[in-house]
Structure 1
Amino acid sequence: MESIRGRGDRAEAGRSSMDDLWFFQVVASNETLTAASRELGCSLSVVSKRLTALERRLGARLVRRGPRRLALTSEGRRYAARTQTILDQIRELEDSLADRSAELRGTLVVESTIGLGRAHVAPLLGEFAADHPRLHAQLHTSELPLRPHRRAFDVAVHVGAPPDSSLRMRRLAANRRVPCAAPSYLAERGEPAGVEDLAGHNCIVLRENEGDFALWRFGDASGPRHVRVHGHLSSNDGDVVTDWALRGRGVIMRSEWHVAPYLDRGELVRVLPQVPTPAADIYALYGGDEHVPQRVSRFVDHLASGLPRRLAAPGGADVPR
């Protein structure tokens, strides 16, 4: 008969393996080991030693450590993908066993861009967490574009066409990117009469993704138009770009959800209002598996109800629930 100690050793090994799965998901979802160490709440040396020990145990190199960011090897990508699947299945199993009438529990990880995350997703997640005190809610904001292949979230709030059809998606609110400028800038430089005139204006560029951020798009699917803009100011921070525009530094192309309060107050003026711009609607993205945990589906419902209400409020202010 197997000894109690033998069964205990096997149980301990199982817990260690599960901890490794969770640990590597955190590493794989961050750009650097330093960022992973902050999320894990331990030192960089501890993370580095644990990753080395995991690679030694598996007999495979999972990560290439670069001076600026880490890169997953082919083995690391495969391990991260299977790890995510296993962790999702465990959470789904626990959720399916829970009493449907009971309070939500477990961990809900939400990802968003910084601007939308601070202004609207954070308050809505705070409301949801207050209604479900046994739920542990986390919000991760980033200036980087969504990377579905490194999915370490339960729900991602994404502006624009979703990048990965393997994920479920739900449209939360209508949105467009619109060009605008301060009245003081337009008084000095004049208003552009057509899209082509923007090439002669000082356009402030937001470097918010890995695409061609200096190519501003107009029209719709049936008649797309674009213009390459130029200017002496650019940033990867949407709030910085908007502040420059408010100070009369140039023309910006920003999401309606972001600039609507300034347009309502006359601090910014819509440029080329007669020219349509492509939709950049706001979506919730979440797991594509058949079973969606209650904490995920109910939070997506909360977003779908609360986000349009907040965006429609005068000045983008908080509104009562």
Structure 2
Amino acid sequence: MENLPQIEDPMKTSVDDLQFFQVIAASETLTEASRRLGCSLPVISKRLSALEKRLDVRLVQRGSRRLVLTSEGTLYAGRLNAILDQLRELEDLVTHGSGELRGSLVVQSTLGLGRAHVAPLLAEFAALHPHLQVVLNTSALPLRSHRQEFDVAVHVGSPPDSSLRMRRLAENRRVPCAAPSYLERRGAPAEVDDLALHDCIVLRENGGDFALWRFGDAGDPRHVHVRGSLSSNDGDIVMGWALEGRGVIMRSEWHVRPYIERGELVRVLPHVSTPAADIYALLSDAGHVPRRVTELIEHLAARMPGRLVRPIGSDAP
């Protein structure tokens, strides 16, 4: 895709122009945009310069390591999203009679949940709707809703942006646990404050205070600052360390349940409640929601709870 489509009249804006700049605005760098558009950096730069020349405005600040939109670029990106939403709504109205879903779906998820559950569910959905193009992006980075990087984001815990619409897909909470070998060596904590004296393995995610572990509920919140020599932004790495007996972890119930059922991990402080960390589908609160998005969310809501209560890797329906 080295040559992007050209418009016949250089004085008119095409849908391709809008889709092109939508990707630019959602990217951290032009290099990232070139990867997402499937063409080289010089082609991207030339296309962007041609668009700016035709509009007679600067849309992107040059000379910065990160892609920064000008005020005109921010305005252009915001308005074009609304225009593309209207076009997608028209496509939905046209295709609704046939029952076929068309177009593209971009889904964002955290690494662990994305690999274990979102990816299989998206594969199911794509098989049901062969005319859809489905993209899954997994990341340990915080959700960046302002960049319009997704149609649907699957998020664990309270949504970080109150402007997003949300649909709860499944109940979940984070629980502390450790391997039997660690508990034999160090003993089990009796109270929440005892965790401060233990080796705790922390997961760095969502840009929050990852060393602050929360307990209780809204009526009786409790927390403790934990310490330990090991931390990672990858939940599978954290899990591996815990299974080796290297410390206590605080992980989602969906993730640790299979290991607890097999006796490879033991829940600690079982008498202490932990706050909910439910799993949500998030989408922008602005504009029309395409039918392909609403049907995907319905599919996730119907299928995910059943997956979370059975062992990872089970083929049971």
TM-score, reference length from structure 2: 0.90
Distance 1:313 1:135 in 2: 29
Aligned to 1:110: 107
State the Cα distance separating 1:9 from its structure 2 match: 4.0
Bigger helix share = 1
Question: What's the RMSD between the two structures over aligned residues?
Answer: 2.0
The reply to whether residue 254 of structure 1 matches residue 251 of structure 2 is yes
Distance 1:121 1:244 in 2: 24
State the Cα distance separating 1:20 from its structure 2 match: 2.6
The reply to whether residue 240 of structure 1 matches residue 237 of structure 2 is yes
The superposition leaves residues 31-57 of structure 1 with CA deviations (integer Å, 9 ceiling, x where unpaired) of: 333322221112233333433443444
Aligned to 2:197: 200
State the Cα distance separating 1:252 from its structure 2 match: 1.0
Structure 1 pair 114–65 and aligned structure 2 pair: CA distance change class (3 A): farther
Aligned to 1:60: 58
Deviates more, 1:308-317 or 1:70-79: 70-79
Aligned to 2:4: none
State the Cα distance separating 1:273 from its structure 2 match: 1.1
The reply to whether residue 47 of structure 1 matches residue 62 of structure 2 is no
Of 67, 78, 82, which residue of structure 1 is paired with 2:79?
Answer: 82
State the Cα distance separating 1:64 from its structure 2 match: 5.5
- Within 5 Å, which residues of 2 pair with 1:1-321? 9-10=8-9, 14=12, 17-58=14-55, 59-63=57-61, 66-67=64-65, 69-289=66-286, 291-315=288-312, 317-320=314-317
State the Cα distance separating 1:144 from its structure 2 match: 1.0
State the Cα distance separating 1:259 from its structure 2 match: 1.3
The superposition leaves residues 206-263 of structure 1 with CA deviations (integer Å, 9 ceiling, x where unpaired) of: 1112121111111111111111111111111111111111111111111111111111
Q: Is the 8 A contact 1:64 1:73 kept in 2?
A: no
Structure 1 pair 81–197 and aligned structure 2 pair: CA distance change class (3 A): same
Distance 2:51 2:229 in 1: 47
Q: Is the 8 A contact 1:182 1:245 kept in 2?
A: yes
* Structure 2: runs of 5+ lacking an equivalent: 1-6
| Residue aligned with 1:191, SS | coil
Q: Is the 8 A contact 1:117 1:141 kept in 2?
A: yes
The superposition leaves residues 100-147 of structure 1 with CA deviations (integer Å, 9 ceiling, x where unpaired) of: 343111111111111111111111111111011111111111111211
Q: Is the 8 A contact 2:86 2:288 kept in 1?
A: no
| Residue aligned with 2:166, SS | strand
* Structure 1: runs of 5+ lacking an equivalent: 1-7
Distance 2:276 2:313 in 1: 20
Structure 1 pair 77–186 and aligned structure 2 pair: CA distance change class (3 A): farther
| Residue aligned with 1:275, SS | coil
Q: Is the 8 A contact 2:212 2:224 kept in 1?
A: yes
The superposition leaves residues 159-210 of structure 1 with CA deviations (integer Å, 9 ceiling, x where unpaired) of: 1111223322111000111111111111111111111111111111111121
Distance 2:236 2:61 in 1: 34
Distance 2:220 2:296 in 1: 37
Distance 1:204 1:132 in 2: 41
